[in-house]
A and B are shown apart, each in its own frame.
Chain A
Amino acid sequence: MPQEMLLIAIVMLPFVGSCLAALLQSNARNAETWLAGATALTCLVLVSTAFPAIAAGGIIRNKIEWLPEFGLDFTLRVDGFAWMFAVLITGIGFLVVLYARYYMSPTDPVPRFFSFLLAFMGAMLGIVLSGNLIQLVFFWELTSLFSFLLIGYWHQNAPARDGARMALTVTSAGGLCLFAGVLLVGHIVGTYDLDRVLASGHLIRSHHLYIPTLLLVLLGALTKSAQFPFHFWLPHAMAAPTPVSAYLHSATMVKAGVFLLIRLWPALGGTDEWLWLVGSAGLITFILGAYIAIFQQDLKGLLAYSTISHLGLITLLIGLDAPLGIVAAIFHILNHATFKASLFMAAGIIDHESGTRDIRRLSGLWRFMPVTATLAMVAAAAMAGVPLLNGFLSKEMFFAETIETHNGSLLDDALPYIVTLASTCTVAYSLRFIRDVFFGPPPTGLPRTPHEPPRWMRFPVELLVLACLVVGIIPSMTVGPALDAAVRAVLGGDTPEYSLAIWHGFTPELLMSILAMSGGVALYFALHGYLLSGVEGPPLLRRLNGQRIFERILVFLSWRLARRLENLLGTRRLQPQLRLLVGMALLAGAAPFYAGGFSTGRPVSDIDPGFALVWAVGAACAIGAAHLAKFHRLAALVLLGGAGLVACISFVWLSAPDLALTQLVVETVTTVLLLLGLRWLPKRIPEAGAMGWWTQMLQWHRARDLTLALCAGAAVAALAYAAMTEPVPDRISRFFVENAYTQGGGTNIVNVILVDFRGFDTLGEITVLGVVALTVYALLRRFRPAAESVPLPEQQRIQNAYDDEHPERATGDTIADAMTIPALIMRLMFPVIGVVALFFFLRGHDLPGGGFVAGLTMAVAFILQYMAGGTHWFEARLRILPLRWMGFGLLVAAGTGAAAWLFGRPFLTSYFAYANVPLIGPVPLASVLLFDLGVFSLVVGATVLMLIAIAHQSVRSHRAAPQTRGPRPQPAPRRMEVE
């Protein structure tokens, strides 16, 4: 396989595996294991094949251009350092998969587990193999996301959910900081390409944005690696299944932070700020983690704090800002991954086979599971730094590095003593892990009798412990070449001389090791009594609870602060919002005139007295409607209709016949709709004798609103006048006038624009109309009228009472009698209006008319039948199904547009021709006629649907009214006959 393809395969394979794993059956544990194991192993093999190419310091790159103008490429890049990480991720990933096969219970939904695990592996590989910083951040956030899903795998447990949420909040907040930091790096260097960034260290360090960049990047790395003060999420992440913990907290996730620190060290490191920030964060975490770990009563809790502490150690090494420190850090990353993964797995085995992880309840397990006990003891010894194990070697390097002088401060001088003290704690908790669990009297009262785990569940632990031993005894023959490649990839020409020998003679660091070892044993026995007392958590620091602080901050930010801001700046009341909106619109409208001056041109046309008279009526109608809308709704509605009519006349006057037609029918339909609605609005009667201050308040409000309304009206008038009297600039309308016939095949330019030039807009518009109609229908299906509107209206009651008094009359006769002649006319009108609608529809392309007007006209015909016959009569005879009309209309309109594809044209391209029909002559046959048919059909359907939905309520509520009185069996509510 060519090396470029190799990289893509390594990154993509886990994601492909993840998708496949998600598809398997929920009890397919074995199949999942085979799939996931094979994926991980294949990746491992593929990664291994790359070693010869990178061993000598070579770099394999694969760049796929994506948005080169923004410096965004999909770049994969592997050097020695990334290679080492890739081996860790895939290798330990494979072992974890194997282990998880036996750890997960048959009742657990394993596809989810393995799917997330593989995706997480892919994301981690993405981080380490990224050659572009933006891409790195992307994969970084993916790991946050998948770790969230993995930690919360047992989502039925509250601790799992809380732990997952906390991990996500902390690490993805850090990820956002990292993103900002990376953007700054890109801004400084001018590219996100990793190679060029690494080569621009001097440029970045001398830039004035160096400090913010460094802080942001560090926030990302330190949150991910659970460094103080962000360490608190890691112990809570222990609610995850143990294989997840073993994976996340040994080779991946938390290592991503230190990976990034080392990766960017050539670019960002080498300054005092780096030394202080990274160094002190690492030092505090190292001490704090080790100290707290001693006092944990949960095996996984102990390992969690020990992980925090070891990561602190690595961070401290990176922070010391010296090449040898980086060497030691890389070496310790490797060693920590092996012993910590095996320890987590051993803890999981103990939990699995004995039923508890509580150190207070466990003891003497040596007798029950000697092999596992031996393995765990070796791994714990490696963690403590016992000679002949891998932990010893990197710890010696660490001690040696702390002795060196870095910046000569007091802290620097004291560093060897401090780290020896902290290592004492490390030894103490490692010893506690060994002695309290495996030695002592046999355990009593365990949920299960402990025994050795299945053969293959122990195998990963065996392999990892073997690695600890082999690396510890013959380091240069085993890990030497890989470590060398990794170190050279980071340090390049500055790679210092270092020795992997086990014995360096009697050196100060050996003395420190001996001191820490003996001190640790002494500390353990000194604290033994205290620990057995069963107190949870360490003395002195028990009250310092990171989780509680985190939750307080979250509550403050997401609840209290938000509420306070909302109370201060927001309102839930509509009127102030609208007032603000109108006020802002006024200001925004006035601003350009304030800046550029207000001027008007000369009126083009003379005043026509007729037009003036029409508008005098129109203005009176508008003001009257405004005045009466509160207490005289019907009058206001009539006046509104008057204003609408004046608008309609203006359209005719001002050469807009299409608008006038549409306005006229829309006006009719709207009025009918509102009239139907009026019946559900209870009477409003002016209140007499309100309280004094309240009236004053109201008057003040009204005065303010009136001022606002007058200003708005005056402003609109002034704006309209100014615009109308200015000469017309050259417009795009020219195009439409010139091409309406030659390209659109119609002489009615407005119609051609609607159905042809801007057909897509019209398609969207009719869709909106359909959506509105459906919404109206849906809202009304659950309609509950106001209590006082439920009884029959007064007039109907009087009429019915009259009918009831006369035995020869049936209820409803009076109204039927009164409507006899109008009803007859209305029914006769139905076909006439239908013909008019057809006429409008057919002439639309060439003369005023079109689908909209025709559809609305047709709807008016239906409304008239309603008025003539009443709801019952109409619904019994309604044979049109509005939903089908709407569906048909939308399909025809969209289908006409799509048909253009068949001829290789873009969506909604039109076609027209004239057909010579005998007797009638040439008939225009444009494809837009079909489109217009869709519009027509949808408009009819939507309008009728809305009307019958509202009108139907009058039938419903009367039937509902008596039910409130007694427990009569309820008849099944009659469904509206629209479907």
Chain B
Amino acid sequence: MEIILALGIGTLAGSGVWLILRPRTFQVIIGLSLLSYAINLFILAMGRLRIGAPPVLATRGVGDPLLYADPLPQALVLTAIVISFATTALFLVVLLASRGLTGTDHVDGRERDS
């Protein structure tokens, strides 16, 4: 399992990095989304992989940490998902505004002199 998830995270991250280095704003926004998937999974993986042990207490009382997946990375990732949604929305609007103002969708706001 670990190797599959690691390779998956790597593929997402590599694709994301490739895209954020591209000159078009839409490529960058897709790249950032891919990167955020990779990073969210990475953070989750830092709590180690557990299958069939969601961090929901089965009994009302003091929980045993060994029985449940690590809840802390999950709480962090939950926050990260919402924030990355917000930044994607913001970036989308900046992208559109910049496209209208500069007449180009190049990340620098102007085409490279060729």
Contact = CB atoms under 8 A, between A and B. Distances in A.
Interface of A: 572-575, 578-579, 582, 603-608, 611-612, 615, 618-619, 622-623, 625-626, 629-630, 633, 636-637, 640, 643-644, 646-647, 650-651, 653-659, 662-663, 666, 669-670, 673-674, 677, 680-682, 684, 691, 694, 705-706, 708-710, 712-721, 723-725, 728, 731-734, 736-742, 747-750, 753-754, 758, 761-762, 765, 768-769, 772-773, 775-776, 779-780, 782-787, 846-848, 852, 939, 942, 946, 949-950
Contacts of A666: 81-82, 85
Interface of B: 1-24, 26-27, 29-31, 33-34, 37-38, 40-42, 44-58, 60-65, 68-72, 74-75, 77-79, 81-83, 85-90, 92-97, 99-101, 103, 105, 107-108, 114
Nearest to B11: A619
B53 to A, nearest CB: 5
A644 B84 CA distance: 13
Contacts of A719: 42
A357 to B, nearest CB: 54
A637 B3 CA distance: 27
B47 to A, nearest CB: 7
A753 B75 contact: yes
A747 B8 contact: no
A673 B33 contact: no
B71 A785 contact: no
A655 B3 contact: no
B89 A673 contact: yes
A658 B78 contact: yes
Contact of B8 (A608, A619, A674, A753): A619
Contact of B94 (A611, A673, A738, A779): A779
A414 B45 CA distance: 83
A611 B1 contact: yes
A605 B44 contact: no
A738 B63 contact: yes
A749 B34 contact: no
Contact of B10 (A674, A713, A736, A740): A713
Given A677-B92, A740-B63, A713 B50 contact: no
Given A673-B89, A765-B79, A728 B48 contact: yes
Contact of B57 (A646, A740, A780): A740
Given A615-B7, A731-B70, A754-B78, 16 more contacts: A615-B5, A618-B12, A630-B24, A654-B50, A659-B78, A681-B96, A709-B17, A714-B14, A717-B6, A720-B5, A736-B71, A737-B55, A749-B68, A769-B82, A787-B103, A852-B78
A712 B13 contact: yes
Contacts of A715: 10
A222 B7 CA distance: 67
A657 B78 CA distance: 11
B68 to A, nearest CB: 6
B15 A720 contact: no
Contacts of B96: 677, 680-681, 780, 783, 785, 950
A738 B8 CA distance: 33
B18 to A, nearest CB: 4
A346 to B, nearest CB: 61
Contacts of B48: 604, 724, 728
A633 B29 CA distance: 11
A720 B31 contact: no
Given A659-B44, A694-B114, A741-B62, A772 B1 contact: no
A629 B22 contact: yes
A605 B1 contact: yes
A732 B79 CA distance: 18
Contacts of A723: 45-46
Contacts, number: 336
Given A655-B52, A716-B10, A724-B49, A607 B4 contact: yes
A670 B81 CA distance: 11
A713 B11 contact: yes
B86 A768 contact: yes
Nearest to B18: A709
A694 B15 CA distance: 24
Contacts of B70: 728, 731, 733
4 closest A-B pairs by CB: A713-B14, A717-B10, A709-B18, A721-B6
Contacts of A582: 17, 20-21
Contact of A612 (B4, B24, B74): B4
B54 A656 contact: yes
Contact of A622 (B6, B34, B55, B88): B34
Contacts of A615: 4-5, 7-8
Nearest to A775: B90
Contact of A662 (B34, B49, B78): B78
Given A738-B62, A758-B75, A780-B93, A708 B17 contact: yes
B63 A629 contact: no
22 contacts: A604-B49, A615-B8, A618-B11, A622-B11, A626-B30, A629-B26, A630-B22, A630-B26, A644-B37, A650-B41, A654-B51, A655-B52, A663-B81, A694-B114, A712-B14, A713-B12, A728-B70, A748-B55, A761-B79, A765-B82, A779-B94, A847-B56
Nearest to B20: A578
A786 B99 contact: yes
A784 B99 CA distance: 9
Interface centre among B17, B24, B63, B101 (most CB of A within 10 A): B17
B2 A724 contact: yes
Nearest to B30: A629
A854 to B, nearest CB: 13
Contacts of B85: 666, 669-670
A797 to B, nearest CB: 21
A449 B16 CA distance: 82
A720 B81 contact: no
A673 B7 CA distance: 29
Nearest to A620: B11
A509 B79 CA distance: 84
Contacts of A608: 1
A638 to B, nearest CB: 11
Interface centre among B69, B82, B87, B108 (most CB of A within 10 A): B82
Given A574-B108, A629-B26, A776-B93, A705 B34 contact: no
Contacts of A716: 9-10, 13-14, 38, 42
A566 to B, nearest CB: 16
B21 A630 contact: no
B75 A677 contact: no
A734 B62 CA distance: 11
A607 B3 contact: yes
B32 to A, nearest CB: 10
A738 B42 contact: no
Contacts of A656: 44, 54-55, 69, 74, 77
